[in-house]
Amino acid sequence: SARPVPTPADESGEVAWLTQYGYLPPANPVTGQLQTWEAVTSAIRGMQRFAGVPETGIPDDATLALIRTPRCSLPDVLPARKNGRQWRKR
C-alpha cells in the first residue's frame, strides 16, 4: 500500500506546500520527488485538521483556497525534537 507513485504535475505545488509547512516529510532522495498517495492524503488531512476545514483528504476548494492564502513562512508542524533519553544515551 505504500507503493511510491509519481506526483501529477498539477498537484506538485500542493505537495511542495505540504512539505514546506511540515505536513509531509521531505521526499526521499532515492525516489526523487515520489510520495505515496497515503502519505499525501494523510498530510492533507493533517493540514485540514489544523486549519479547521472538513477533513476530506483531497485538495478540495476550501483546502486550495487556504493554500493560496498569504501566510507566515514558518512550518505549522515543527520537526520532532530528540528526547532527553536519546541525548543521555549518546
Partner 1 sequence: RKSRGRRSAGLAWTKRNISWKVKTYPREARLGRETIRALTHYALKVWSEATPLTFHEVGGSSADVSVEFLRLDHQDGYPFDGPGGMVAHAFFPGDPQRAGHVHFDSDEDWTFRSPDDYGTDLFAVAVHEFGHSLGLAHSPSKRSIMRPYYQGPVGDPLQYQLQADDRTDIQRLYGMARPGSRVLHSTEKPEASSLLPDPPSLPRDFPEFPDRCSSSIDAVAQIRGETFFFKGQYFWRLTHGQHLTSLRPALSAAFWRGLPRSLGKVDAVYERHTDHRILFFSGPLYWVFKDNGVEEGYPRPVTDFGLPQGGVDAAFSWPHDRKTFFFKGGLQWCYEEAVGRMDEGSPTHTALGGQLPTPVDAMLSGSDEVYAFKGRQYWKLERHSLKPEKGYPRSIARDWLDCTGELYPPPSAPT
Tell me the C-alpha distance between 19 and 43, whole Å: 9
Residue 3 or 52: the one with the smaller Cβ distance to partner 1 is: 52
Residue 1 or 69: which CB sits closer to partner 1? Answer: 69
Among 81, 82, 85, 90, binds partner 1 (CB under 8 A): 81
Contact in structure between 39 and 5 (CB atoms under 8 Å): no
* CB contact at 8 A, 16 and 25: no
Give the bridge partners for 5, in sequence order.
Answer: 35
* 38-77 footprint of partner 1 as x/- string (CB under 8 A): -----------xxxx-------------x--xxxxxxxx-
Name the minimum Å distance from CB 55 to partner 1: 12
Among residue numbers 8 through 27, which ones bind partner 1 (CB under 8 A)?
21
* 27/63 Cα distance (integer angstroms): 22
Q: Which triple of cell numbers denotes residue 23?
A: 505536513
Rule CB under 8 A: which residues touch partner 1? 21, 49-52, 66, 69-76, 78, 81
